[in-house]
């Protein structure tokens, strides 16, 4: 009986962790290629959440169906942001990139606060209270769908980078920007595309997240930090690492929330981060540079 | 600095010294806020500006200083002038621990910044659960009715606090200037510009960096002691928040990272601007929460795009306050 209990909590932690991992994938893609840390990541994720809330409120769309639309809008935003502002900071010192994106994050966060107010908004889905029984497991239908959605999008992203011509070109940029330029790749265009993809992916993660959590502007800085923790725990620049890190953090949050106290669950993520930074600074699946 | 620069700086000093004589309570309270941010901005500048170590968790040192001195005062009746040594010691130990972990294991750049955030967040959540420090309900220093000014226990009128923080800013400025022109200061600049070259000519990187963290965290803790006795209340969600860490770094960024006057100038730009905005929002009747922060965001982007080195280097050159470009104070 107690074992089933733990198993249930572990599995729902893993499912939530998959959505965290998807958000972190977006961050990892941007950092791995453009070498800029997107400090507005959580803000973009919450923007994705509000996108799903609006589409569900006005058109009655399920968050899973809203996700592609949200992704398209955020892709455009990310593309423009890279083209218009971030691109001229690529060669600048880290702290300046950080300040720029901090400014952008502040603008997005407070624009959302002004538009939607500080209260939480949620989406209504017909399967909101359904559960699925799998052997000893009793899982929420929403969590199962969110986790499955995250896996599908992550798989599509891996396939894109592995097999498509554009994906290979982006990886070439990440490995050696100078060499990529020498063989005739349009670096600035690929950077904009990458930033757009990263923003679109985190938008989808946000849309899926509305199945699990109510949207509030205040979530944004938390999600930014969470994505960072995950990427660093998993390994900067490693895509499987980001997904794995997400699952690990989701699992540890769920366990800490259950075993200790819900208010201590984020403390646990920071402890994991500090331990990983000390013992394996390149991350669990990262390569030593 | 040119003659004109020195005259202007002296004039500013005189005006600030005389301000409580002719300014009303509101202006004095705004000036106190300005000077507080100028002070912690200078303290942060020692790490980022002088030695190139990006700390995004300076709220940790403010909070440790504030809580240490406040707890000693409330629980044991130990006054702030004794408590501040414990406060500085606590913050320095925390800073050196983070620095030791970071520098020892080669945690650099963005990773180091994240490590500082992580520790500030751990402290925030931790203090929420420490009942000896009041937990999430807050920690309060009793307000002493009309006992008059008591410099010994740092209880008294806003004017008293104004002069205390003014003295702190002047002290930090003098210390920064002295440090920057010392052997240690030149080592910091070398480590900031080219760590490998610095190491090659015999600079001990670890030692240079850890002393920068120690000086910066100890100075920041004093800002925390001041905050605790000025506001008389401490809440972990405010004191250790990431928003607070960002507020601390803004003056130096706006004024000019690595310059002596930059953090002070930045505080004099940002705080009054924020007050003006609050005033305008009230007058116009617009009740939009977030408008002020939105404006801060736009200001950050504009500054980093058009004045990436900050306002001070540009202003000093334009007004002829320095002899040559790049010269500071």
pLDDT value of residue B304: 87
Interchain contact, A114 vs B246, CB within 8 Å: no
Interchain contact, B121 vs A118, CB within 8 Å: no
Tell whether the model's pLDDT for residue B326 goes beyond 60.
no
Domain CATH code at residue A247: 1.10.3470
B115: nearest CB among A103, A271, A277: A277
A22-26 average pLDDT score? 95
pLDDT value of residue A212: 92
B107: nearest CB among A98, A105, A281: A281
Q: What is the mean pLDDT of chain B?
A: 87
Residue entry with tokens 């040559």: B324
pLDDT value of residue A157: 95
Tell whether the model's pLDDT for residue A288 goes beyond 60.
no
Interchain contact, A102 vs B300, CB within 8 Å: yes
Please write the tens of the pLDDT for every residue from B26-67: 899 999 999 999 999 999 999 998 998 889 899 999 999 999
Task: For chain A, give the secondary structure using H, E and C.
Answer: CHHHHHHHHHHHHHHHHHHHHHHHHHHHHHHHHHCCCCCCHHHHHHHHHHHHHHHHHHHCCCHHHHHHHHHHHHHHHHHHHHHHCHHHHCCCCHHHHHHHHHHHHHHHHHHHHHHHCCCCECCCCCCCCCEEEECCEEEEHHHHHHHHHHHHHHHHHHHHHHHCHHHHHHHHHHHCHHHHHHCCCCHHHHHHHHHHHHHHHHHHHHHHHCCCCCECCCHHHHHHHHHHHHHHHHCCCCHHHHHHHHHHHHHHHHHHHHHCCHHHHHHHHHHHHHHHHHHCCCCCCCCCC
A118-130 average pLDDT score? 85
Most A CBs within 10 Å: which of B47, B301, B302, B303, as the mutation test of the A interface? Answer: B301
Assess if residue B19 is contained within a domain: no
pLDDT tier at B148, thresholds 50, 70, 90? low
Interchain contact, B111 vs A281, CB within 8 Å: yes
Interchain contact, A103 vs B300, CB within 8 Å: yes
* Nearest-Cα residue of chain B relative to residue A266: B125
Interchain contact, A114 vs B300, CB within 8 Å: no
A113-120 average pLDDT score? 88
Assess if residue A201 is contained within a domain: yes
Interchain contact, A114 vs B294, CB within 8 Å: yes
Tell whether the model's pLDDT for residue A48 goes beyond 70.
yes
Q: Does A92 touch chain B (CB under 8 A)?
A: yes
Interchain contact, B122 vs A274, CB within 8 Å: yes
Assess if residue A28 is contained within a domain: yes
B300: nearest CB among A99, A111, A113: A99
Q: Which of A105, A87, A230 is nearest to B294 (CA)?
A: A105
Please write the tens of the pLDDT for every residue from A222-244: 899 899 889 888 887 788 999 99
Interchain contact, A96 vs B113, CB within 8 Å: no
Interchain contact, A281 vs B106, CB within 8 Å: yes
Q: Does B126 touch chain A (CB under 8 A)?
A: yes
Assess if residue B306 is contained within a domain: yes
Residue entry with tokens 């599509």: A156
Most confident of A253-267, B2-16, B312-326: B2-16
What's the gap in Å between the CA of A106 and the closest CA on chain B?
5
A110: nearest CB among B111, B125, B297: B297
Please write the tens of the pLDDT for every residue from B97-128: 999 888 877 777 777 888 898 899 889 988 98
Assess if residue A284 is contained within a domain: no
Interchain contact, A105 vs B107, CB within 8 Å: no
Number of domains in chain A: 1
Q: Which of A140, A18, A87 is nearest to B305 (CA)?
A: A87
Tell whether the model's pLDDT for residue B325 goes beyond 70.
no
Tell whether the model's pLDDT for residue B327 goes beyond 60.
no
Q: Does B107 touch chain A (CB under 8 A)?
A: yes
Dihedral sign of CA atoms A26, A27, A33, A39 in order: positive
pLDDT value of residue B87: 94
Phi-psi region of A17 (alpha: psi -120 to 50; beta: other; left: phi over 0): alpha
pLDDT value of residue A1: 57
**Range(s) of the domain holding residue A120:** 2-279
Tell whether the model's pLDDT for residue B147 goes beyond 70.
no
Backbone φ, ψ for residue B54 (5° rounding): -80, 110
Assess if residue A27 is contained within a domain: yes
Assess if residue B325 is contained within a domain: no
Interchain contact, A99 vs B101, CB within 8 Å: no
CA–CA gap between residue A27 and residue A36 (Å, rounded):
9
Q: Which of A44, A234, A4 is nearest to A135 (CA)?
A: A4
Torsion angle of C-alpha atoms B209, B215, B220, B225, degrees rounded to 10:
150
Tell whether the model's pLDDT for residue A194 goes beyond 80.
yes
Number of domains in chain B: 1
**Range(s) of the domain holding residue B170:** 3-14+24-140+149-318
B-chain CB neighbours of A92 within 8 Å are: 308
Q: Does B311 touch chain A (CB under 8 A)?
A: no
Interchain contact, A103 vs B297, CB within 8 Å: yes
A81-89 average pLDDT score? 91
A63-70 average pLDDT score? 93
Assess if residue B299 is contained within a domain: yes
CA end-to-end span of chain B: 5
B-chain CB neighbours of A36 within 8 Å are: none
Assess if residue B326 is contained within a domain: no
Please write the tens of the pLDDT for every residue from A160-178: 999 999 999 999 988 888 8
B-chain CB neighbours of A96 within 8 Å are: 304, 308
* Nearest-Cα residue of chain A relative to residue B289: A114
Domain CATH code at residue B58: 1.10.3470
For residues B149 and B134, the model is more confident at B134
A267: nearest CB among B125, B243, B246: B125
Q: Does B286 touch chain A (CB under 8 A)?
A: no
- Say yes or no: ipTM exceeds 0.90: no
């Amino acid at each position: 009986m107690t074992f089933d209990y733990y198993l249930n909590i572990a599995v729902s932690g893993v499912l939530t962790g998959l959505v965290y991992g998807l958000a972190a994938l977006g961050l990892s893609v941007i950092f791995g290629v453009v070498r800029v840390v997107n400090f507005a990541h959580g803000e973009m994720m919450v923007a994705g959440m509000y996108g799903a809330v609006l589409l569900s409120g006005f058109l009655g769309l399920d968050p899973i169906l809203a996700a592609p639309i949200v992704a398209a809008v955020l892709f455009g935003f990310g593309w423009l942001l890279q083209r218009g502002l971030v691109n001229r900071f690529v060669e600048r010192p880290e702290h300046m990139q950080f300040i720029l994106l901090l400014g952008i994050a502040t603008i997005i966060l407070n624009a959302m606060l002004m538009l939607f107010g500080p209260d939480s908004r949620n989406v209504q889905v017909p399967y909101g209270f359904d559960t699925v029984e799998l052997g000893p497991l009793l899982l929420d239908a929403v969590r199962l769908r969110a986790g499955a959605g995250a896996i599908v999008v992550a798989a599509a992203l891996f396939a894109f980078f592995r097999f498509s011509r554009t994906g290979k070109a982006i990886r070439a940029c990440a490995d050696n920007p100078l060499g990529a330029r020498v063989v005739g790749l349009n670096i600035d265009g690929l950077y904009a595309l990458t930033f757009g993809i990263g923003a679109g992916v985190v938008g989808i993660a946000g849309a899926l997240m509305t199945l699990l959590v109510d949207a509030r502007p205040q979530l944004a800085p938390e999600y930014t930090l969470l994505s960072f923790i995950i990427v660093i725990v998993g390994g900067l620049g490693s895509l499987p690492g980001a997904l794995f890190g997400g699952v690990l953090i989701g699992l540890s949050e769920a366990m800490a929330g259950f075993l200790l106290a819900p208010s201590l669950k984020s403390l646990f993520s920071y402890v994991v981060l500090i331990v990983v930074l000390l013992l394996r600074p390149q991350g669990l699946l990262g390569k030593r540079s | 600095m040119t003659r004109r620069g020195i005259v202007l700086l002296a004039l500013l000093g005189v005006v600030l010294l005389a301000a409580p004589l002719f300014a009303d309570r509101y202006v004095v309270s705004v000036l106190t806020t300005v000077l507080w941010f100028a002070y912690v901005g200078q303290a942060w500048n020692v790490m980022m500006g002088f030695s190139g170590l990006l700390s995004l968790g300076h709220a940790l040192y403010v909070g440790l200083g504030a809580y240490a001195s406040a707890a000693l005062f409330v629980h044991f009746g130990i006054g702030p002038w004794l408590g501040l040594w414990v406060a500085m010691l606590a913050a320095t130990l925390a800073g050196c621990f983070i620095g030791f972990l970071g520098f020892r294991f080669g945690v650099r750049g963005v990773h180091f910044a994240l490590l500082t955030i992580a520790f500030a967040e751990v402290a925030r959540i931790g203090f929420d659960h420490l009942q000896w420090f009041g937990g999430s309900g807050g920690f309060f220093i009793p307000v002493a009715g009309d006992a008059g000014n008591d410099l010994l226990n740092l209880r008294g009128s806003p004017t008293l606090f104004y002069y205390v923080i003014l003295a702190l800013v002047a002290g930090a400025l003098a210390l920064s200037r002295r440090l920057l022109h010392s052997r240690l200061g030149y080592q910091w600049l070398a480590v900031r510009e080219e760590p490998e070259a610095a190491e090659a000519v015999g600079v001990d990187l670890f030692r240079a960096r850890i002393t920068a963290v120690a000086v910066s965290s100890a100075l920041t803790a004093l800002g925390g002691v001041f905050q605790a006795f000025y506001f008389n209340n401490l809440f972990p969600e405010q004191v250790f928040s990431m928003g607070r860490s960002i507020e601390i770094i803004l003056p130096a960024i706006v004024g000019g990272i690595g310059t002596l006057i930059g953090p002070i100038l930045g505080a004099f730009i940002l705080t009054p601007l924020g007050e003006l905005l609050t005033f305008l929002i009230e007058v116009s009747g617009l009740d939009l929460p977030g408008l002020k922060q939105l404006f801060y965001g736009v200001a950050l982007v504009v500054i980093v795009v058009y004045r990436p080195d900050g306002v001070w280097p540009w202003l000093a050159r334009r007004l002829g306050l320095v002899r040559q470009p790049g010269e500071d104070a």
